[in-house]
């Protein structure tokens, strides 16, 4: 996860589309939907993405309500969350979704101001729960999580 190492908070880059190999920004930002994946699944999924050698360490989880994403409209940017269709044979991952901003920016190009404002709005509405015991099998801070649900 993208975390500011100084204050251990979510970095705004978490909500920015990444540059892909073709030189453009991927249109969507991949997320896990809590409706189809309970908390410990989300935690397990994030831990599976961990790669210490590539500086990808698991520290915790970020949460945001889909309503807050859809309310973050600025100018021509109208963010939405699009779920992987349940009948989509390739993935069969009902817990997967993407945040879409409606445009693709070539690598090296600055993001439009409207997109930056939408991303900042989403970032400010998100919550982060640090996993104080990341090596444990299960989450110990379940009370904190329930306060966000």
Average pLDDT over residues 70-97: 79
pLDDT band at 90 (very low <50, low <70, confident <90, very high): low
Q: Cα dist. 96→33, 43, 47, 74, 118 in Å?
A: 6, 14, 16, 25, 22
Average pLDDT over residues 55-73: 87
Q: Cα dist. 39→45, 111, 145, 149 in Å?
A: 10, 33, 8, 10
The predicted pLDDT at position 69 comes to 93
91 versus 139: the higher-pLDDT residue is 139
Average pLDDT over residues 55-63: 82
- The Cα–Cα gap between 126 and 119 comes to 11
Evaluate if residue 23 carries a pLDDT over 60: no
pLDDT in tens, 110-137: 889 999 999 999 999 998 888 888 888 8
- 59 touches 131 (CB < 8 A): yes
Average pLDDT over residues 59-76: 89
Average pLDDT over residues 93-99: 83
Cα angle vertex 81, ends 97, 70, to 5°? 155
Q: Which helix (H) or strand (E) holds 120?
A: helix 113-125
The predicted pLDDT at position 123 comes to 92
149 versus 37: the higher-pLDDT residue is 37
- Whole-number mean pLDDT of the chain? 79
């Amino acid at each position: 996860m993208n975390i500011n190492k100084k204050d251990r908070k979510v970095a705004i880059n978490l909500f920015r589309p990444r540059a892909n190999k073709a030189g453009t920004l991927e249109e969507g930002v991949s997320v896990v939907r809590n409706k189809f994946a309970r908390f410990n699944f989300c935690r397990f999924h994030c831990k599976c993405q961990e790669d210490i050698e590539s500086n990808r360490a698991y520290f915790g989880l970020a949460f945001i309500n889909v309503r807050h994403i859809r309310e973050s409209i600025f100018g021509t940017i109208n963010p939405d969350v699009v779920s992987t269709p349940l009948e989509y044979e390739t993935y069969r991952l009902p817990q997967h979704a993407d945040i879409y901003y409606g445009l693709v920016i070539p690598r090296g190009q600055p993001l439009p101001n409207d997109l930056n404002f939408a991303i900042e709005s989403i970032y400010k509405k998100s919550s982060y729960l640090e996993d104080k015991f990341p090596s444990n099998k299960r989450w110990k801070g379940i009370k904190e999580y329930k306060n966000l649900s």
